[in-house]
Amino acid sequence: MAKLYFYYASMNAGKSTTLLQADFNYRERGMATMLFTAAVDDRFATGTITSRIGLSAPATMFDAATDIAAAVTERHRRGHLACVLVDEAQFLTADQVRQLAGIADGLGVPVLAYGLRTDFRGQLFEGSARLLAVADALIEIKSVCACGRKATMNLRVDREGRAVAEGRQTEIGGNDRYVALCRRHFTEALE
């Protein structure tokens, strides 16, 4: 029975690297996969999942209007898909998460979704909230705060490295804009 998996973590935990390794494992065994990434993520090449350690793979871009179920069903019809992998899953809509569950349940294709749990204010993203509610398996990928404790929060910083507490939920950036921290240091930085 295929399942919907949600791999979540703070920034810089290796979510994209882990996704690309899973994709490689399937493809190395001659199995077909389909990769998705958020169109809004323009940090690297568009239509590409790229990890900070230099791994990358082409992917189908999605935005709020994308019918992921239709794209997967069409691709699956042309040749059996062994797995669907979604990067930046926090940017999924609740309906797209429903579609992913339908892919696992109806098509029998496992779906591995990777993303942030919370934003820079400690609030759930729509896609993450829905995945936390309906995924068959929740897997935390660990990252480390500068103090050595587990990093669970994403602190947004300005150009001078000062904590940012207000703004749009989505602002694309990497190490220049976000720091993964434990809850204690996240809270202290915002106070």
How many angstroms separate the CA atoms of 127 and 36, rounded? 14
How many angstroms separate the CA atoms of 187 and 22, rounded? 34
Residue 43 backbone phi and psi in degrees, to 5: -65, -30
88 is annotated as an active-site residue: yes
Which of these, 110, 66, 58, lies nearest to 91 by C-alpha position? 66
What burial class does residue 73 get, using C-beta atoms within 10 Å of its C-beta: 0-12 exposed, 13-18 middle, 19+ buried? Answer: middle
Which residue type does 16 have?
S
Catalytic residue among 74, 88, 188, 191: 88
* Catalytic residue positions, numbered: 88
